[in-house]
């Protein structure tokens, strides 16, 4: 089941961060919940500046990708009932050059490769999607993905969080 959430983006003492709270539909209550959540995360912050909000959804299963031993990047892409593969897969979040982004992988079946795209998390932001030209082998182990993405994104990336966990 999908749960509606309200995501808030903030600049905390000069550094970006974000929090999410359940969406109640009461604007004042939702904004107060965001303020309380960011204050709880940074109780000693001197300067908390709101930097945007976004509505979103989360899954009761937390939206994690269950990785099995030996799983490769190609296995991250889902096939529908007809046999078509969705070539895009959101796998996490990152702050890149101080702005919040979703991390997406793009499957290029003909090349046997995967590329990385960052999609802005804040609607109407002054920045657009960022596509990286690196071609990752689709047979690369998922276990190496965090390290590889850190190299691809470089020093401008902060707080890379992947929604991948080991299957139990």
- 68, 37, 67, 41: which is closest to 53 by C-alpha? 37
pLDDT along the chain (168 residues), means of 10: 75 85 89 92 91 69 72 83 77 85 91 92 72 94 93 91 80
**Percent of the chain, pLDDT > 90?**
35
3-state secondary structure of 82: coil
Instruction: Based on the fold, state whether residues 97 and 74 are members of the same structural domain.
Output: yes
- pLDDT at residue 59, rounded to an integer: 46
Query: Residue 132: exposed, middle, or buried by beta-carbon count in 10 A (0-12, 13-18, 19+)?
Result: middle
Residue pair 85/77 in contact by the 8 Å Cβ criterion: yes
Based on the fold, state whether residues 86 and 118 are members of the same structural domain: yes
One domain for residues 70 and 152: yes
Domain count for the chain: 2
What pLDDT is attached to residue 116?
Answer: 95
The whole-number pLDDT of residue 5 equals 80
Residues 87 and 52 in one domain: no
Answer yes or no: do 75 and 149 share one domain. yes
Q: What is the pLDDT of residue 124?
A: 58
Q: What is the pLDDT of residue 66?
A: 82
Find out whether 74 and 139 touch, Cβ atoms under 8 Å.
yes
pLDDT (tens digit, 9 = 90+) per residue, 77-118? 876 666 677 788 889 888 888 788 889 999 998 899 999 999
CA 86 to chain centre: 18
Domain that includes residue 26, residue range: 2-59
**CA dihedral sign, ordered 59, 124, 88, 151:** negative
| 42 and 72 in a common domain | no
Q: Which of 25, 43, 59 is the last residue of a domain?
A: 59
pLDDT at 80: 65
Query: What is the model's pLDDT at position 61?
Result: 41
């Amino acid at each position: 089941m999908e749960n509606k959430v309200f995501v808030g983006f903030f600049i905390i003492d000069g550094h970006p961060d974000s929090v999410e709270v359940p969406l109640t539909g009461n604007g004042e209550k939702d904004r107060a919940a965001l303020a309380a959540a960011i204050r709880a995360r940074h109780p000693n912050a001197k300067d908390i500046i709101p930097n945007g909000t976004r509505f979103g959804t989360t899954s009761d299963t937390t939206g994690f990708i269950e990785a099995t031993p030996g799983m490769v990047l190609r296995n991250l892409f889902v096939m529908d009932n007809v046999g078509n593969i969705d070539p895009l897969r959101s796998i996490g979040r990152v702050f890149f050059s101080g702005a919040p982004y979703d991390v997406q992988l793009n499957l290029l079946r003909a090349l046997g490769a995967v590329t990385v795209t960052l999609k802005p998390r804040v609607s109407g932001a002054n920045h657009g999607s960022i596509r990286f030209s690196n071609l990752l082998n689709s047979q690369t182990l998922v276990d190496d993905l965090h390290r590889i993405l850190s190299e691809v994104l470089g020093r401008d990336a902060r707080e890379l969080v992947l929604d991948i966990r080991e299957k139990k």
